Structure 1
Amino acid sequence: MKEGPDIARIGALIGDPARANILSALLSGKALTATELATEAGITGQTASSHLKKLMEGGLLAQAKQGRHRYFTLAGPEVSTVLEAIMGLAARKGHLRTRTGPRDPAMRAARVCYDHLAGDMAVRIYDSLQMRDMLAASSDKGGLALTEKGVTFISEIGIDLGALNASRRPMCRACLDWSERRNHLAGSLGAALLSHFQDQRWLRREENSRVVHISSRGEVAMKELFPL
């Protein structure tokens, strides 16, 4: 390709195994130090610094300093979208890593995808909203928008749609779920729903992990809110 976006550069950045591990570790939405990312990637600190520099230069990572420490995060939700989409493609084509231990089923059940919920329950939420005509296709809001029915429902839950509308970020966006191989809800609404579920104590994040544990009370409440 002689003109247009250089997808080869992005592909090369993500395609390195160590850098892929670094990016995957940051899908939790947490800021991590270079030392923590080196451990996640199974590489030395010096090698990690080299990879982090390349990811920063490529626009895939952002950096913040606090005291003597430097923390790294994904550069934005669009990076997490690409990573989840690639994971979904890899899963569909059979390019899977060996499954080990009990945490993988937990990852498939419920996990954080950058700043919104992914996994079985997240796909249920997306399907429920669509089946009840609360989501509609849109050309200017990330591909999806709330219908009038959806606006009423989300407002009744207790989510401030005015604040979400004021954001420059798309409110509703479909994000391919790599484990379910179907869509879950991303965008500012996806992030707001995750925060709401946490405020209600329906779920909790597992420490140092993307895994989310849904309580029995939370599962009942969420299934009542999002029936199929």
Structure 2
Amino acid sequence: MLTTSALARTAALVGDPARAGMMAILMDGRARSAAELARGAGIAPQTASGHLAQLTAAGLLTVERQGRHRYHRLASPAVARMLEEIMAVAAGGAGAPGARPVRLGPRDAALREARTCYDHLAGRLAVGMADSMVARGQIELESDGGALTAAGAAFLGGLGVDLDAGEGRRGRRVFCRPCLDWSERRPHIAGVLGAALLRTCLGQGWVRRGEGRAVAVTPGGRVALRRAFSCEAP
């Protein structure tokens, strides 16, 4: 049962700049060592270890062990969704009357075009893909959920998207849902379906991972995505 004290504890954990920085690094879905997260957040390794222990104890992070090495990742898609939604609110300056709009630099502009949101695609590319599927009646997205239609299943099958890979249709995770894109302020596709789309785009060589959360569309991918979704890839 959710209590106000539990809500406050979670908010306090995420609200610390160092912890928020490390969690943002993990938004690309990849696991990282404490040393890597410390460097990325610009803090001392000892400080990072203390923060990571708190986040793990609270169930926001999970630790994977490989031999003598320990790697940290976000504990669940729900944690990633919480962070993405906080980013959307923060980017809009909500709760700060008279605040100046945030001016995004070149790095942020690249993230706005195409990036990973934990295990699915986000940014202008992902929103365009979602818009295309909605317009064609291949997917239905509502504020509280989503559904893949028979036409959508046939379309994705033709692209080679394996909807039964990973957690598949019968896992505990939501199969299809909208995720509010923090930069576009419109939904992209998340859930098992969103993860399957990202796997396909990577596997087909349409996109490749860049630094951090950034995703680059390959020349061949630009052609394939335009043909499949009738949207301009960045």
| TM-score scaled by length of structure 1 | 0.89
Question: In structure 2, how many angstroms separate the alpha carbons of the residues matched to 1:89 and 1:160?
Answer: 33
The more displaced of 25-34 and 157-166 is 157-166
Equivalent position amino acid for 1:74 in 2: L
Identity rate, percent: 48
Partner in structure 2 of residue 61 of structure 1 = 61
> Match of 2:96?
none
**2:169 partner SS:** helix
> How well do the aligned residues superpose, as a CA RMSD in angstroms?
2.2
Rate the CA distance shift 1:3–1:168 in 2: closer, same or farther, 3 A. closer
Which residue in the other structure is 1:118 paired with?
Answer: 122
In the alignment, structure 1 segments of 5+ residues that lack a partner are none
User: Aligned residue for 2:163?
Assistant: 161
What is the CA deviation profile of residues 115-162 of structure 1, one whole-angstrom value per residue up to 9, with x for unaligned ones?
1111111000111111111222579xx711111221221222222334
Shift of 1:213: 0.7
Asked if structure 1 preserves the Cα contact closer than 8 Å seen for 2:92 and 2:101, the reply is: no
Helix, strand or coil: the match of 2:89? helix
- Corresponding residue for residue 224 of structure 1: 227
Whichever residue aligns with residue 54 of structure 1, its letter is Q
Q: Secondary structure of 1:6's partner? A: helix
Distance 2:45 2:219 in 1: 41
CA distance in 2, matches of 1:66, 1:204: 25
Give the aligned residue type for 2:228: L
SS class of match (1:167): coil
Q: Which residue of 2 aligns with 1:37?
A: 37
2-structure distance, mates of 1:3, 1:218? 47
SS of the aligned residue for 1:161 comes to coil
Q: Which residue among 184, 190, 196 is the counterpart of 1:186?
A: 190
- Give me the whole-angstrom Cα distance separating, in 2, the residues matched to 1:137 and 1:97: 29
Report the counterpart of residue 199 of structure 1 in structure 2: 203
Deviations 1:56-82 (A, max 9, x none): 111100001112211000001111101
CA distance in 2, matches of 1:52, 1:220: 42
Count of matched residue positions in the alignment of Structure 1 and Structure 2: 223
User: Which amino acid in structure 2 is aligned with residue 69 of structure 1?
Assistant: H
Contact map agreement 1:90 1:96 (CA 8 A) in 2: no
Distance 1:95 1:200, change over 3 A: farther
**Structure 1 stretch 217-226 or stretch 80-89: which is displaced more?**
217-226
Alignment of 1:1-228 (within 5 A): 3=3, 6-93=6-93, 99-100=104-105, 102-136=106-140, 143-163=145-165, 164-206=168-210, 208-227=211-230
Counterparts in 2 of 1:217 and 1:36: CA distance versus 1, 3 Å: same
Unmatched runs of 5 consecutive residues or more in structure 2: 94-98
Matched AA of 1:219: R
Q: Which amino acid aligns with 1:223?
A: R
Report the Cα distance in structure 1 between the residues aligned to 2:184 and 2:191, rounded to whole angstroms: 19
SS state at 1:166 partner:
coil
Residue 217 of structure 1, CA deviation? 2.1
**8 Å CA contact 1:175, 1:184 repeated in 2:** yes
Counterpart of 2:63 in 1: which secondary structure? Answer: strand
